[in-house]
Amino acid sequence: MNDLPTVTQFEVFKNRKDILKNPLPFHHHNFQKFGDTFRVNIGYGKSIVFTRDPALIKHVLQKQHKNYQKSPLQTVQLAKYVGHGILTSNGEHWRTHRRMVQPAFHKKKLMGLMGIMQLAIRDALNAIKSDEVNNVPPLMGDLAFQVVARSLFSRNDIERPMQRLQQITESNQKMLIREMRQPYLNWWFYLSGAIKKQLDLSKEGRNILNTIIEDRLRSGREGDDLLDMLLNASYEDGTPMSRNQLLDEVLILFTAGHETTANALSFSLYFLAKQQAIQEKAFQEVTKLDMEEGDIMENLSLLPYVKQCIEEALRLYPPAYVIDRIAVAEDIFEGRTIKKDTMILMSVYELHRYQSFWESPGDFVPERFDKGKGKDFQEYYYPFGAGPRMCVGNNFAMYEMILTVAEVLKRFQLQTDLDTLDINPLISLKPNAIPIKFIKR
């Protein structure tokens, strides 16, 4: 890949302030200028390959996935704050623990969590001030955090420690973003004590979770929740996870599980508030269904248009807006040599808006995901990643989002005067303020 068009280190440095704030316009400019794949020189003899080529993305994530692993951005930099769980590990360590965690998210297991999820959502929605303008991202952040907390621990009395844990994870994330986008300042981050401060906060967060786990073990009760499933998970020789590994996995579920869902819900509600005809169509679908009767999971399957609205929001604003991999051995793709240790950054955000694959890519059109139309977008639609490392909680997240949107539409009509979304790409794609008026139905 050495002959790819290259963004110079000088260009990166010249645009450093804009990149720190929001790198997506810089990415887009270079995709428009250089095409679907290019290199960015980041100095010290290192470069990163950026791509939105669906064939290369499929090659890396699916066809030749064994030849690629997560980069040190996640396995070292992110891991120092959240531990080595399935999101931040590679190789046999990842495979072993993925096998242990995966059963907790099978549909049969999730059925038992639907009631907990619904109650958590309804309690969170009670905080919405009707007939007033509310800022949606904090509301959805609290909602998603409580859903994860109750699904993990099946407790209603841990709001205060959970709020502290949320503050810690957000603080860690902001520091990590600075490290990733300003690598030339990393020496100062260590020297000034900024990183030590964040590592101390991370330890505090682990202590919060450890106390909750200790309380569960002392009580001797079974909660039929995600924590029980993780406590009962065992390696092939029958031994359980170590406490340290259990904390890693629980912390990953909190960090990855609540924020991505909260962001996706915020974007979904914005589009529904902005497009009244679409909102009305989704509302009519919801009103035809009695959510108090029957199996909750089965009811959610009867809301295909609500799901399409969420899928379209995930297309335009995918929480995991980039995916990184690093080659563990030399590889060949369409005649080009990908050398060992080549880092590839795949832009899901660009792929989801690429005019060659999507009709009217900038428009919010939920109907494009109508399975009855026969179109298959799996080659260029990756809201949860792809391949063996596809998000383990994708079904949990979709059920939560469909249920939340349905509960919101049952209670409120949504309106907004916001014309342009202001986004903040951190570890996941985050919206800034989204003012929406919730008019009680």
CATH number of the structural domain spanning residue 122: 1.10.630.10
Domain span at 232? 87-315+389-440
* Whole-number pLDDT of residue 156: 66
Any idea which residue has 């249920």 for tokens? 403
Residue 422 lies in a domain: yes
Residue 182 lies in a domain: yes
- Local structure of 199: helix, strand or coil: helix
Residue 98 lies in a domain: yes
User: Which amino acid belongs to residue 318?
Assistant: P
User: Checking DSSP bridges between strand 336-338 and strand 331-333, what pairing results, if any?
Assistant: antiparallel
Backbone angles phi, psi at 238, to 5 degrees: 90, -5
Residue 10 lies in a domain: no
CA separation (Å) from 32 to 11, 48, 176, 363? 15, 17, 28, 19
Tens-place pLDDT, residues 24-44: 999 999 999 999 999 998 877
Provide the pLDDT confidence category of residue 133 given band limits of 50, 70 and 90.
very high
| Rg, the chain, Cα only | 22
Smallest CA-to-CA distance from 67 within 366, 325, 371, 297 is with 325
The percentage of the chain sitting over the pLDDT mark of 70, rounded to a whole number, equals: 99
Distance between CA 220 and CA 207 in Å, rounded?
20
29 contact partners, CB below 8 Å, separation of at least 6: none
* Whole-number pLDDT of residue 310: 98
User: Checking DSSP bridges between strand 37-43 and strand 6-7, what pairing results, if any?
Assistant: parallel
Stretch (H or E) spanning 177: helix 159-181
| pLDDT surpassing 70 at residue 234 | yes
Residue 107 lies in a domain: yes
* Whole-number pLDDT of residue 224: 75
Tokens representing 274 are 């902005």
In the chain, the number of structural domains is: 1
Residue 14 lies in a domain: no
Smallest CA-to-CA distance from 389 within 323, 302, 439 is with 323
Written as one string, the DSSP assignment of 209-275 is HHHHHHHHHHHT----SHHHHHHH-B-TTSPBPPHHHHHHHHHHHHHHHHHHHHHHHHHHHHHHHH-
Task: Show the 3-state SS of 284-307.
Answer: HHHHCCCCCCCCHHHHHCCCHHHH
Residue 411 lies in a domain: yes
Tokens representing 70 are 């997560």
Distance between CA 299 and CA 326 in Å, rounded?
41
- Local structure of 427: helix, strand or coil: coil
* Whole-number pLDDT of residue 295: 86
Residue 265 lies in a domain: yes
Overall average pLDDT of the 361-384 stretch: 87
Tens-place pLDDT, residues 317-340: 999 999 999 999 999 999 999 999
Overall average pLDDT of the 259-279 stretch: 96
* Whole-number pLDDT of residue 374: 62
